Amino acid sequence: MSNLPGTRTTTLDPNLGIVAPSADGARVVVGCSSLGAVNTVVTLSDPTTIPQKIGVGPGARGVADQLSLGGGVVHFVRTAGDILGTITPNPSNPSNPAITTSGSPLDRFEIIVKITTAGALGTSAFTYSLDGGDTVLGPIATAANVALPGTGIALNFAPGAYVVNDTYLFVTTAPKASVSSVQSAIRAAFAATNLLYEYIQVAQPTDSAFWAALAALRLEAESNHRFIDFLTETIPPGDDPDAWVAALLADIATFSAVGVHIVALWGESVDTSSGRLEIQSAAARIGARISSNQVHVSPGWGKLGALAGFLTAAPFDIVPQPVGSPRKVSKLNNGHALTLQNAGFITGFTVVGLGGYFLTRPNSAAAATSDFKFLMRSRIDEARRVTWSVKRTCRSCSSTLTRSSWWRPRRRWRTRQRRRSRR
């Protein structure tokens, strides 16, 4: 359209209908894995691509649980595994002939090697399990060196006559990242300024030193107008649940921070990648539940049911049964769960007549009087993120309006009107 003589038409867009992109349900997982570049963001949405893209390890397992149980998109940052995993043989293992191990474990395993065919090296055979005997692989012929796929470990069979039913036990720990390595990985996620996400999961056991570092990183992100929370897990329990709970209470006694959510729940779970029964933290499963529900919904809402794939809380006793497989009975009771909940942890409890484990209140480590004690309030506080996005856009709008050609004539007109009113 042509302009009228002496006029100029300018089309403005003040973005009055702006709705900022939502970060609801989006998350970042940082942790150790066997593949991928360190401190580099990898985006995944299909759990079947995890082995090819990031391999195995605690971080890869966290991504698998998040995607398999929560769907959506997960951004993964591989940390440097500067604290190597360990392999501990059982002192009662047969020594003549002996089986030793080499390599560095990629994850936490309970390895059982059982001789199934007697004979010398090369003619005898064995089976092995990575999950304490629940899943058995083999038989495989013995050899001087036998690699166990996907574990980073090899079995070294000494020469000698192997006897049927001789059993060798090994327990491994997963590799971990130091505080500084986790900080570097998280800052790599911060540097990807176009990524939107609600929280970052640290997929490894952590203590109060880690929690303090996460609280500082949260404030660092907030100072740059990125409003996020952290989800992490405690150290795994030993055989004594009372000692474990006491240690956690002592660890959190001197720590308090908004937006740091600590899961104190370990147990035998169905691994979403391998199908094995492994002792894992429930943190990634809880994260999946958080991400798959609306921001106002508590992950501890009973209507959501028991935690998917989580079978028996650790530590547990193995009780033989007259018929069938042994039964696993948890030593962790609802009294322990209540104590941990009141201290600021997220954990699980059982309900009489119902199977599985239900979640307690989704606490943060904030003070009891904080408005952000519970996870839902942090999620609903996404208003800060939306407000900042609108504010940032409207800043550019106002500057455009100020420089617009129509503003100067209108300002002169108002000046003339004020002068006339004074006469």
What is the rounded distance in angstroms from the CA atom of residue 421 to the CA atom of residue 80? Answer: 73
Dihedral angle of Cα 359, 237, 210, 289, to the nearest 10 degrees: -20
**307 and 167 within one domain:** no
**269 and 207 within one domain:** yes
CB 289 within 8 A of CB 214: no
Place of tokens 């997960």: 74
In this prediction, residue 379 carries a pLDDT of 77
**129 and 99 within one domain:** yes
Residue 158 lies in a domain: yes
Report whether pLDDT(416) > 60: yes
In this prediction, residue 404 carries a pLDDT of 43
Q: What percent of the chain has pLDDT over 70?
A: 84
Per-chain mean pLDDT for the chain: 87
**198 and 120 within one domain:** no
**303 and 224 within one domain:** yes
260 residue type, one letter: V
In this prediction, residue 1 carries a pLDDT of 52
Q: How many domains does the chain have?
A: 2
**96 and 228 within one domain:** no
Residue 326 lies in a domain: yes
| pTM (two decimals) | 0.83
Q: 334: domain CATH number?
A: 3.40.50.11780
What mean pLDDT comes out for the span 256-263? 94
Both structure tokens of 264:
């104190």
| Residues with Cβ within 8 Å of residue 187, at least 6 apart in sequence | 217
> What is the domain range of residue 96?
87-172
In this prediction, residue 405 carries a pLDDT of 44
